[in-house]
Structure 1
Amino acid sequence: MQLEHVSRTQRPFAASSPIHGTRGEPGRALVQLCREIDAAFAATEASAKISFGQRVRTALQTAIADPELLRPEQRIGSAQGYCRHLLAADPLNRYAIAALVWEPGQASPVHGHRTWCGYAVIEGALAETLYRWDAEAHCAQETRRHPRAAGAVSYVDAGRGAIHQLGNPADAASRAVSLHIYGVAGEQIATHVNDLLAA
């Protein structure tokens, strides 16, 4: 199992923070992504016809289309394991947004989710292995594998209905970068998202 490296390359901010264009301030794409996630929460509370998950997927697709979404230092990986850069944290602790950088051969452990989450591949390609939970054997059983190319977007609710492993194949020519939104406070992204499971 590989350990992950967590970097805080940008301080958490409120979506309503002004943009000054300075190096430490969030770019327009990140601010817009926060606004869209805030709107998804508001729409869900108002019983909107479009689901929360659909809104998160759409927000991710829009965000990754902006080439200035991430600064160069937010695309830096680590030889010790995949690297998670915290980009933004909701001031109400409803969600956190992070960029994950995967060097060739790095992968997450097999896991379910303790919270809702969505991700999109920004650069390179990832491989995703899906599992189902076998209650009798008390472990995850592999069901299928598929590539996740740049532009791929995924959303899952909490629970063991969406067990997977995500990673950059060992034979990949370069790193991969993905954008993730988790339904936790910023300081909890490394501890309260994944439900690690035996496979």
Structure 2
Amino acid sequence: MRLEHVSRLARPFSSASAPSPVAGCGAHLNPALEQLCGEIDAAFAAAEAHPGASFGQRVRLALQRAIADPRVLRPDQRASDPQNYCRHLLAADPLNRYAIAALVWEPGQASPVHGHRTWCGYAVIEGALEETLYRWDALGHRAIETRRHPRSSGAVSYVDAGRGAIHRLGNPADAAARAVSLHVYGVAGEQIATHVNDLLAA
């Protein structure tokens, strides 16, 4: 099999959280995840063959197609945690180039303000999220809020590593229901809780 299927539930996110032990492993990825992985593999191949090719655009399109398939997540991969948002690790590239996860957000749950140590993309599968964007104030050593955007079901985003795309993502406290998003990060599966976010003061 081309990919390691981990399908595990990590502890709810905090700045000090680490992945929990694998709770169970399946033998195969579902067709939607297999296609997503194949398209990300193809994006890497295209970027290597043609350095001018848009890797980010290919990842965005792959996520857009993945969330259109109702089979992309099982019900247990949409499970939430009442204390904080949680991350279900779905698949990890054996070459350690990327990992795929589902994030589940109850109303009022949000990420910390962060930049990115790696490229990453996400798409909203269920419900709606709110994304708050920031700019980095190098003199004040803090992130300054610039604007907020609703991210409804079907929204797709991609950013490169660095502090040029600082944000906070969450499910508003007055939301009527949970939200679920699908994320791809440019890290190995075991690094998904530790090597993605560059936590910043705001």
Q: Same fold by TM (over 0.5)?
A: yes
Q: Post-superposition shift, 1:25?
A: 2.6
Paired position in structure 1 for 2:109: 106
Paired position in structure 2 for 1:196: 199
CA 1:10–1:43 in 2, change beyond 3 Å: closer, same or farther?
farther
Q: Secondary structure at the match of 1:68?
A: coil
Name the aligned partner's letter for residue 147 of structure 1.
P
Q: Deviation digits for residues 137-180 of structure 1, max 9, x if unmatched? A: 11000000010000000000000000000000001010000000
Q: Secondary structure at the match of 2:62?
A: helix
Q: Is 2:18–2:193's contact at 8 Å kept on the other side of the alignment?
A: no
Q: 1:138 aligns with which of 128, 141, 156?
A: 141
Q: Is 1:98–1:180's contact at 8 Å kept on the other side of the alignment?
A: yes
What is the distance in 1 between the residues matched to 2:112 and 2:19? 16
Could you tell which deviates more after superposition, 162-171 or 24-33? 24-33
Paired position in structure 2 for 1:156: 159
Q: Which runs of 4 or more aligned residues in structure 1 lie more than 6 Å from their structure 2 counterparts after TM superposition?
A: none
Q: How many residues align?
A: 187
Paired position in structure 2 for 1:88: 91
Q: 1:35 aligns with which of 33, 38, 45?
A: 38
Unaligned runs of 5+ in 1: 12-22
What is the distance in 1 between the residues matched to 2:66 and 2:58? 12
What is the distance in 1 between the residues matched to 2:52 and 2:31? 27
TM value normalised by structure 1: 0.90
CA 1:46–1:111 in 2, change beyond 3 Å: closer, same or farther?
same
TM value normalised by structure 2: 0.88
Q: Is 1:133–1:140's contact at 8 Å kept on the other side of the alignment?
A: yes
Calculate the aligned-residue CA RMSD, in Å: 1.6
Overall identity of the aligned pairs, in %: 78
CA 1:123–1:171 in 2, change beyond 3 Å: closer, same or farther?
same
Paired position in structure 2 for 1:19: none
Q: 2:63 aligns with which of 57, 60, 68?
A: 60
Q: Post-superposition shift, 1:50?
A: 3.6
Unaligned runs of 5+ in 2: 1-12
